[in-house]
Amino acid sequence: MARILMTGASGGIGTSLRKLLRPIYPDLVLSDLRPPADLGKHETFKAADLADIAQVEAICEGVDGILHFGGYSVEGPWDSILQSNIIGGYNLFEAARKQGVKRVIFASSNHAVGFYPRHHRIGTDVTARPDSRYGVSKVFGEAVGALYADKHGLKVTCIRIGNFGEVPLDHRRLSIWLKPEDLVQLCRIGLEHPDIHFEIVYGASWNERSWWDNHRAFDLGYRPTGRAEDFREHAMAEQAKLPPDTVGDFYQGGAFCGMEFDGDASRVWKPG
């Protein structure tokens, strides 16, 4: 079996995925700044700071594929984003090249294109419209992934993750929900599909309200099992508890778009 490294193993996605991936990839190496609180005695963990290239090279040694979920996972101060996601992301790809890693799955985000209006259906080939410093870092990661695929032959898959979880939590998430098992399926495509060179796909389940054309993922064999509409009543009940957000409710990126917004408010459609 291939040896797979997963960064961000102590985060929310990493915690869920490592339990689902263990039966598929028994030789799974986990990494983060700190070990998961529930680390099992049969699990392999190697601590690393992504901003330190030597530490990243060490965890990449002897690895065949990388699931890169590490980094700063929400909007935050520039220096935090810079160290964890910009420098850390570059270090991950460079260490993979130096250590002869064959494949990298990069956890991108819907926030790389969050400033597209919700009424605008988009594919993966649109111009980046990040909604935050966090979104900018994901655009950077996709660009570095393309560079290392084209220049160094690394096989790279970028997954623009929507909202990962057991159920969609509100109205917006009915359009972008990603069931954990469906993310596993996308990771397996990135690690195993023979035709991968450089790909961008959306990390979304079967969402009938989706704003995204994800045909490339389906071309590669993706068949999501989660259906957001099965949780419609729950999501809409939770939505009713939330205050309106003039900016966030218009754009795909939601609240990330409204944070610190002092742009042209006339561009935001207002009902009535």
What is d(CA 147, CA 144) in angstroms, rounded to the nearest whole number?
5
C-alpha angle 243/249/254, rounded to 5°? 100
Asked about 222 being catalytic, the answer comes back as no
The residue type found at 35 is P
- C-alpha pair distances (Å), 229 with each of 122, 165, 236: 21, 14, 11
Neighbours of 5 (CB within 10 A): 31
Specify the residue for token string 């570095």.
144
Residue 133 tokens, joined: 């410093």
Active-site entry in 25, 72, 134, 148: 134
What is d(CA 50, CA 55) in angstroms, rounded to the nearest whole number?
7
Task: Supply the residues annotated as catalytic.
Answer: 134
